[in-house]
Amino acid sequence: MSKPGDFEAVAADIRKILHQPEYDDGSAGPVLVRLAWHSAGTYCAETDTGGSNGAGMRYEAEGGDEANAGLQHARVFLEPIKERHSWISYADLWTLAAVVALKEMGGPQIKWLPGRTDYVDDSKLPPRGRLPDGAQGADHIRFIFYRMGFTDQEIVALSGAHNLGRMHMDRSGFHGPWVPNGTRFNNTYFKIMTEYEWKEKTLDNGVKQFVYVDEDLDEELAMLPTDLALVKDESFAPWVKKYAEDKDLFFDHFAKAFGKLLELGIQRDANGNVKNTDNVKGGYHS
Ligand code: DDH
């Protein structure tokens, strides 16, 4: 048990659970990033509903959304940390875990502030269907991300998270990794999106995705229809090109957009403290 507010102690323990030799590609990192994204990515700016506050995914109404299939793995990885530092809210723990994991996987430092609570406000509960569907195209992507208040540039930057992890048939119906080394954060996703020739493939379950086959690779690489929609769209495509050419620019824009994602729906005063809740001061920036 650490002192309440000692987020460095929590971060140190998160680092220790990232290495998971029996799981996927040996890292809990990618699925932790996805947990934070799905907890925050339900936000609707117009109605001020959804978002990471409340950690609603612990309950069936939100956790049972089929878009969240597989994220129980991430929550199970984090449970021993919650037991050791019981003062931290799940909502803060999930978002902090992604920030720590991204940094450990070679990604940028993302500004993170605490203060989310686990109080589930039923009037803020997001309806199902707020998260993106990989089988769709650019219109759908805009519909989902404009609702949260993101621009086209931020959408492309955030999509670069698919440099991490893989798709699992028993979770989303899609299959395979986007890049050959999906436990290191990089701009490879943007590079290979334009450089490689992607072929449509129908999986045994009838789901359509795009694949790249190369004898030198251990397995086929995969792209979702939504991933490749980024290179076909005239407003998204220039950002794909910029991020493919300039890793530092991508890291900078990704860090800003991911930081914004984690703050959706959180009201803070000028000192960064969350309004109207008993919150813990401090932050995690190092
Ligand atoms: Fe994603 N994502 N995502 N994604 N995502 C999947 C996995 C991961 C879409 C669909 C899928 C973002 C945007 C989109 C991560 C992070 C982010 C999977 C596979 C699907 C499907 C799930 C599975 O089978 O296990 C779609 C569609 C979009 C979209 O923008 C249109 C964003 C914005 C992020 C982010 O973090 C900012 C990560 C990481 C994974 C890998 C998870 C894992 O277990 O590995």
Return the closest-CA partner of residue 246 out of 190, 195, 208: 190
Domain co-membership, 156 together with 227: yes
Q: What is the complex's ipTM, to 2 decimals? A: 0.99
Q: Which two tokens stand for residue 2?
A: 């650490």
Residue 8: pLDDT over 90: yes
Average pLDDT, the chain: 95
Q: Is 141 in the pocket of ligand 1 (CB under 6 A)?
A: yes
Residue 3: pLDDT over 70: yes
d(CA 142, CA 148) in angstroms, rounded, equals 10
The pLDDT assigned to 280 comes to 43
- Give the pLDDT confidence of 29-68 residue by residue, as tens digits: 999 999 999 999 999 999 999 999 999 999 999 999 999 9
Return the closest-CA partner of residue 120 out of 51, 36, 74, 46: 51
218 Cβ partners below 8 Å, 6+ apart? 180
266 Cβ partners below 8 Å, 6+ apart? 51, 52, 53, 113, 115, 116, 274
- Give the pLDDT confidence of 78-135 residue by residue, as tens digits: 999 999 999 999 999 999 999 999 999 999 999 999 999 999 888 889 999 999 999 9
Domain co-membership, 127 together with 144: no
The pLDDT assigned to 284 comes to 52
Q: Containing H/E element for 32? A: helix 29-40
- Residue 276 in domain: no
**What's the CATH number where 44 sits?**
1.10.520.10
- Residue 19 in domain: yes
Catalytic choice (178, 198, 239, 253): 178
Residue 65 belongs to domain spanning? 7-131+258-263
CB atoms within 10 A of CB 122: 8
Beta bridge partners of residue 27, listed in sequence order: 19
Residue 94 known to be catalytic: no
- Residue 184 in domain: yes
What is the pairing mode between strands 176-177 and 208-212?
Answer: unpaired
Query: In which band, very low, low, confident or very high, does the pLDDT at 236 lie, cut at 50, 70 and 90?
Result: very high
Q: Is 73 in the pocket of ligand 1 (CB under 6 A)?
A: no
Domain co-membership, 178 together with 115: no
Q: How far is the CA of 34 from the centre of ligand 1 (A)?
A: 6
